[in-house]
Amino acid sequence: MVFDEVFIAALLLVGSLFGFSAALGLLRMPDFYTRMSTSGKAATLCCGLLLGGVAAMFHDTQVTARAVAALLFLLFTVPIGVHMIARAAYRVGTPMWRGRTAKPRFKNPKRDLK
């Protein structure tokens, strides 16, 4: 019983930590692409852990089924949305941040293919 509660609490706490880091990434990151990377998808793991914690806490068929469905829909829709938005940004040539010490610090990603 105690072990169950500790497990659920750990899931929820770690999930919220990833959610917090996603929100902080949105504020801290210097350009569009890195903001997308840190926020859009830390959210995947965050939602996965939170939904898993909720399912484990209620231990109920209906709740579990909904948690699994929500997670599946997230896994199907998030990467497509991320890809479409990033591709639009890439095509219009949104400048890309290239690191703290790089010169120049921002550059059009089309001219910087490795």
Partner 1 sequence: MRVFLLNLILAISWSALTGNATLVNFCFGFFIGYLALRVSPKIPEGTKYFQRLPRLIRLASFFIQELVLSSLRATIEVFSPKLQSRPLVVRIPLEITDQTQIFILANLISLTPGTVVLEITPDNSELFVHTMFVDDPDIFREEIHLGFEKRVREAFS
Q: Which residues bind partner 1 (CB under 8 A)?
A: 17-18, 21, 24-25, 28-31, 33-34, 36-38, 41-42, 44-45, 55, 59, 61, 64, 68, 75, 78-80, 82-83, 86-87, 89-91, 96-100, 102, 109, 112-114
Residue 6 or 83 having the CB closest to partner 1: 83
Residue 7 or 90 having the CB closest to partner 1: 90
Least distance (Å) between residue 53 CB and partner 1 = 14
How far apart CA 43 and CA 78 sit, in angstroms, is 9
Residue 98 burial by Cβ neighbours in a 10 Å radius (0-12, 13-18, 19+): middle
Residue 2 or 114 having the CB closest to partner 1: 114
Residue 5 or 87 having the CB closest to partner 1: 87
Least distance (Å) between residue 65 CB and partner 1 = 8
> Given the DSSP bridges, would you call strands 96-97 and 106-107 parallel, antiparallel or unpaired?
antiparallel
DSSP reduced 3-state for 31: coil
DSSP reduced 3-state for 97: strand
Closest CA to 48 of 87, 28, 22: 22
